[in-house]
Structure 1
Amino acid sequence: NPKWTKWLQKLCCPCCFGRDCLVLNQGYLSEAGASLVDQKLELNIVPRTKVVYLASETFNYNAIDRVKSRGKRLALEKVPKVGQHFHRIGLPPKLGSFQIFVEGFKDADFWLRRFEADPLPENTNRQMQLQFERLVVLDYIIRNTDWVVVKDPIIQLAAIDNGLAFPLKHPDSWRAYPFYWAWLSQAKVPFSQEIRELVLPKLADPNFIKDLEEDLYELFKKDPGFDRGQFHRQIAVMRGQILNLSQALKDSKTPLQLVQMPPVIVETARAPQRANSESYTQSFQSRRPFFTRW
């Protein structure tokens, strides 16, 4: 459904509206894509999310669709022999993301404030650090431009609200959309051996990366407005993020040092000698957004 606050923002301040680095109307694919990346990397911090068709009276439909729906229902009630021949009874289904609801979780801000007042025991703090590193890996690969995470008392993270990820370029206009977890104390601790052993072998495997790209392609092409060129730009950004993350893990950097690495784009090009082979070109982003901390 449309967000009226966003509509007012677009109407009153169009120059600062939206994220020009994101593909329009693709938030539901971003949600499902984040879940796919989470499953492939075995991070297990994103509730399972799929793309489905759903219909509901609470969804945003135009007047024609609602009148047709009521007319068909009325015809089915009054003249069943005629109504049973309708192709569909009710409102037309809409394509969107469907995510498993997580219970017993609270917003991250609540727990961060509580942990500042009441420090965690060493073992629990270690558990939180490992969960935090999984979040960093996911957020960085999909280049999430939002950050909403919830956790429960046993220090289990659930990375939800991933609809503003998979940009087609690194932010270079008004806002930088930084990773806000980079300001946490956990971001100053080098990546652990556990996360390196979990993630590095996969990211270093070209076949794994290729399979991930193909799975994302099969997912994203479900969108009626799918654009292959835009998708390739999204994947080029993701490859650059994977390249930086792999290097940071190899060098035992901290998450804070990771986000300070120059943004990279890795594009593919057909090799002229062999039509079936691909070569990669790497480039760095030189343009910086106007606001670097917002």
Structure 2
Amino acid sequence: MNNLPATGDFIYTFAYNDEEKDLCHLEMRSLFGRQSDTKILKTDRDIHPSRSPFVKERIRVLMEGRTLDELCDKLRNVKMGESTFKVLFVKINDLAGPHKIEYDQKRKIERDLGMIIEGELDLHQPDVFFGLVPCEGSWHFGIYEKAEPVWLRHVKKPREYSTALSTRTARAVANIAVPDPEGKRAIDPCCGIGTVLVEALSMGIDIVGRDINPLVVTGSRENIAHFGLSGEVTIGPIEEVTGSYDATIIDMPYNLYTHATPEEQLDILMNARHFTTRLVVVTIESIDHMLKQADFSVVDRCIVRKGKFSREILVCE
């Protein structure tokens, strides 16, 4: 395959239900700096598609055209050499109404583009997947990557609590707290059985865990080891945390084993202020007044619902 220069842009598509929409948008704002309401986003930010639990696929844009014909002219310069390929018309795009392209026409466009590219088509096991998608008024063509739902592997844990975050939510929370892991240190000082730790560690985030309850610390360590991950989890109260961290994730304790009173919640936040610059809190109660007392400012937020049960996720600095 000849070395085609990339444009520097990426197109991501997303999948989420109505209950997850606000969480997905908060994660988008954290990872990409802005959100899209159309389940497709064009950006210059290079985020691995498997990081987000909501990203479905990504195209690394190689070329674009204002019309499909213009794009086809550019594709004549693509020479695959010994590499086989396949072209996929991405299902999620921003064409709607009279501009929407139906299934049969999409398959025809895939075949037509495949005939233009110099090389061997392989519809079953190609060396390279190309993606085609109309977005923001132009046609885009590039390397197609399908996201792997890594978080699904972590659903079944040796130790579980019914009130723990879902793995999908936990993964999004980790991304919201540490959108750029390079050189960042994070802590989950009320880690429970380690749902957030497992997701963060699986993405290469440098994070440590801590909890006051020895039983849940044991469960957290067991869950981390079960998935072949390595992470430090210590026993002790939050007031004994030493050092400083770029990000802190706190899922406010409210289960049968460690329910925090309002006074204890405030104490947790006051202590976190001493060692972190960024705080992401998950809570089932309104704690804005506590955050203000602890000298935190809420810079973003969302509500995650599951049936009648809801959690609020607050991003604080």
Normalised-by-shorter TM-score class: under 0.3
Higher RCO, Cα 8 Å, sep 6+ = 1
TM-score calculated relative to the size of structure 2 = 0.26
